[in-house]
Amino acid sequence: MRKIILTTESGADLPIDFIERYNLEVVPMHVVMDGKDYLDGSLPITDIYDYYERTKKVPSTTSTNPNEYTELFTKIRAAHPNSIIVHIGYTSKASSSFQNANIAAADFEDIHLIDALNVSGGLTAVVMYAAFLLEKEPDIALDRFLGLVQSSVPRARFAFIPENLDFLRAGGRVSNAAYIGASLLKIKPLIELVDGKLVSTKKYRGKMRRVAEDLMQDFLKLYPIDKEQLYLIFSIGLDESIKLHMEELAKENGFKNVTWVQTGGVISSHGGPGAFGIAGMETTA
């Protein structure tokens, strides 16, 4: 049976223990600040926050380029000559990374690309669905595997709330008027992936602990998330007491496995410190 190897971008924010346990291959995206290009994951997240405090600007982020995908695919094939590569990519609606992966893949055989139409914890949910499937059925037929993973894409749900709008305003994603109004009223926008695009779908008001509770309640009412696995997403700066509380609530709601996903450089550059999110896979029943 030919080995299937899963690849994705750093924008999935995959926990390191998942990467190591399931032999996942992750290619970095880019964070640019002070005129210098950093590979996502190569600098502390606190450097991004310090950059904002110093300049009141947020770093720009760029996609993985075709040459980097070519290097990744070449490395995999050198180590596993008879392998099948399945790349589960960062949404094509928000980055050119998926297009660049397609460009690189054209020079190889047996590389299959799936647009996850998601980011961060939502992309993690799709990648890990594929990894769990391979673990459960190591001899699964390729066509069946690809079909199941592709069908999981519209079932992956991800939503997050930034602690404040500082980074979104600095990045030009909200106006000064909206920023001032939201700050005065303590409003926090809910950001969801809709058809692969990041969209503000709702507004919450209050302190982060209450808002996080409301988000989880609404999310679990709206989506029939599989109780086997829930992903809780956070950026550095989220209060530890909130994390403990949200994990307890997830378990009270019957989730067997709760995994924390820390945002990396790309996602943290957009959402800023102290963000909270939730992701999971809808049941098929």
User: How do residues 51-71 score in pLDDT, each as one tens digit?
Assistant: 999 999 889 999 999 999 999
Q: Is 206 exposed, middle or buried (0-12, 13-18, 19+ CB in 10 A)?
A: middle
pLDDT at 202: 86
Confidence label for 168 from pLDDT (cuts 50, 70 and 90)? low
3-state secondary structure of 238: coil
The domain made up of 156-282 is a member of CATH 3.30.1180.10: yes
pTM above 0.75, yes or no: yes
What phi-psi label fits residue 206: left (phi over 0), alpha (psi between -120 and 50 degrees) or beta? left
Tell me the domain boundaries of the chain.
4-31+62-151, 156-282
Tokens of 247: 């994990």
Express each pLDDT in 229-259 by its tens digit. 999 999 999 999 999 999 999 999 999 999 9
Q: Of 145, 134, 88, 123, nearest to 231 (Cα)? A: 123
Looking at CATH, the fold of the domain delimited by 4-31+62-151 is given as Rossmann fold (3.40.50)
Mean pLDDT of all residues in the chain? Answer: 91
